[in-house]
Amino acid sequence: MLATEAAWRDGDAWQRDLLTVLDRNRHRVRQVLSTQLPQVRHHLPEATYLAWIDARPLGLEQPPVERVLESGGVLLDGGSPFGPGADGFLRLNFATSHGVLEDILTGLTRALALD
């Protein structure tokens, strides 16, 4: 109960800072995808910290989750656990630090860049 009261009373600055980071990160994801992986489909999320990436246009022979892990060293979510027809999708959680996000984006683009 004390933590809830403290959050309501003193959490405005923290929340403002968090929203700033999330906004910066979601725009960074969009920038990298549009410039380095223009073939993939992605919509700028508005009410979440998850970016859904449609890798189906790449025509990969293996699921994109596996390709990104093996070739980029990054573990993203996606594929069949999210339901029928989700095999060609990746889910990237961008609620992280700038450095970690850059590492994720570097691995993702390295893995998905067409040869």
* Chain centroid to CA 114: 19
Count other C-beta atoms under 10 Å from residue 75's C-beta: 10
CA 58 – CA 39 distance, rounded (Å): 7
Residue 106: closest CA among 16, 32, 13, 2: 32
pLDDT at res. 9: 85
CA R_g for the chain: 16
pTM over 0.85: yes
Per-residue pLDDT tens digits for 23-74: 999 999 999 999 999 999 999 999 999 999 999 999 999 999 999 999 999 9
What is the distance between the alpha carbons of residues 41 and 62, in angstroms, rounded to a whole number?
Answer: 18
Q: How many angstroms separate the CA atoms of 67 and 61, rounded?
A: 9
Extract the tokens encoding 15: 């929340």
